Amino acid sequence: MKFGLIDRVLEIEPAKRIVAVKAVSLGEEYLAEHFPTFPVLPGVFMLECMAEAAAWLVRAGEDFAHSILLLKSAKGVSYKSFVAPGQVLRVEVTCLHLSPQESRFSGVGHCGETEVVKGRFALTHRNVSGNGATPGDVDQRIVEALRRRWSIVYPESDVGAAQVAG
């Protein structure tokens, strides 16, 4: 299953800092099981929101050089409160280190004024065609789809679907 949790990027300084939001809706399938009588955004999804925001930060900073950005590690992640349907999780992620192969971040998530999650984590940067290899056709198709998604989550960007086609 592949889906994006980030609904909108509010602010970005490419390769440095990003602020993004995830609106939690009762219509999201996973809430039926987590928990049936007390639906809340799973903690791992809070971390995934920070990782997705970080991935957008890397893509914007490296002009979409990699087709795949994966969570490599997470350290010191703490969960302080629940995020329920109807609430908006606002994540702020700061880049601590960025290289072609990996990146490290610190992140924090809030609902209103309440801090609900924070931690440090790392992403690994890959291409389907292999690390260090020139991106291939599959990588290019993935990057084109990512650029289209980027134009939706961050419409203020000058990297839109028209740029992908041209």
The pTM of this model reads: 0.91
86: left (phi over 0), alpha (psi -120 to 50) or beta: left
Q: Active-site residues: which are they?
A: 34
Residue 132 has pLDDT above 80, yes or no: no
Q: Per-residue pLDDT averaged across 109-129, rounded?
A: 96
Rounded CA separation 83/96 (Å): 26
| Per-residue pLDDT reduced to its tens digit, 71-89 | 999 999 999 999 999 999 9
In the chain, where are the structural domains located?
A: 8-151
- Residue 133: pLDDT band with limits 50, 70, 90: low
CATH node for 8-151? 3.10.129.10
Which pLDDT score, from 0 to 100, does residue 85 have?
96
Which pLDDT score, from 0 to 100, does residue 69 have?
96
Q: Where do runs of H (alpha helix) occur along the chain?
A: 43-61, 137-153, 161-165
